[in-house]
Amino acid sequence: MPRLVVAHDIICPWCWVGRIQARRLRQEFSSLELIWKGFELLPEGMTYSPPAPDPLDAKKPKTPTRFDLLLAAEGLVLPERTIPRSISRLALEGSEFALEHGKQEEFLDRVYHAYWEESKDIANIAVLIEAAEAAGLDVAQFALALDKRIYRNTVIEYDEPAHAAGIWNVPTFMFPEAWVAEQPYSVLHDMMARFIQNAENTPSD
């Protein structure tokens, strides 16, 4: 089965789009397996400071951002969250537990939904346990793994460690021909088609 690694962080709006794109890719390429690797945008101990507003903004014509253009290209509307950003470290560690137990997609579907569609705090262990249970994971083992921080070192932090690993944006789809980030679905689809074809034409050892 072809496997492709995707760098992501649950709290990243680009990654919310990437998860939707990935769902379409899995539907079109049934043999595909995606492995989601956590790159933490807001490491523990850091606080998020939004950029200062542009004092001349009211005088400028409204222009779409790169993210606005991606949403338009994908026909999506980003849900409006009602609480501040979460620290995603435990959720990303939980994703590694889910990967090890064959339930990563199910777990991430529920965690992304909890964060973006339900405005839940995914730093809250109760929210993560609820997602783990819905994904069919052993809740007691899951909670123990997070409590003991077994997967702590599997998550890579921004900025320097992520950059050293070659990740400058999330989501990054790590295709053998090129690592690509923040791309419209058409680009991902074409690259995935080539990736799957090459994988299927490569004899296994």
Q: What is the pLDDT of residues 25-46, one digit of tens each?
A: 999 999 999 999 999 998 876 6
Query: What 3-state DSSP class applies to 152?
Result: helix
Q: How confident is the model at residue 204 (pLDDT cuts 50, 70, 90)?
A: low
What is the C-alpha separation between 191 and 187, in angstroms, rounded? 6
Angle at the Cα of 96 (from 92 to 99), degrees rounded to 5? 130
Q: Is residue 58 part of a domain?
A: no
Number of domains present in the structure of the chain: 1
Q: Report residue 154 as tokens.
A: 């599997």
The burial class, CB within 10 Å (0-12 / 13-18 / 19+), for 51 is exposed
Q: What domain range includes position 117?
A: 3-45+63-201
pLDDT of residue 182: 93
Q: Averaged over 53-69, what is the pLDDT?
A: 86
The burial class, CB within 10 Å (0-12 / 13-18 / 19+), for 154 is middle
More confident residue, 15 or 57: 15
CB-based contacts of 163, cutoff 8 Å, min separation 6: none
CATH number at residue 36: 3.40.30.10
Query: What 3-state DSSP class applies to 35?
Result: strand
Q: Is residue 73 part of a domain?
A: yes
Name which of 194, 93, 77 is nearest 142 in CA terms. 93
* Mean pLDDT taken over the chain: 93
Q: Are strands 33-40 and 3-8 parallel, antiparallel or unpaired?
A: parallel
pLDDT of residue 61 exceeding 70, the answer is yes
pLDDT of residue 1 exceeding 80, the answer is no
Q: Is residue 189 part of a domain?
A: yes
- DSSP for 113-126 reads IIIIIS---TTSHH
Q: Is residue 55 part of a domain?
A: no
Q: Is residue 93 part of a domain?
A: yes
The residue type found at 152 is: R
Q: Is residue 54 part of a domain?
A: no
Q: Is residue 123 part of a domain?
A: yes
DSSP single-letter state for residue 171: S
Name which of 92, 88, 85 is nearest 155 in CA terms. 92
pLDDT of residue 62: 84
pLDDT of residue 50 exceeding 70, the answer is no
In which element (H, E) is residue 8 found? strand 3-8
Q: Is residue 171 part of a domain?
A: yes
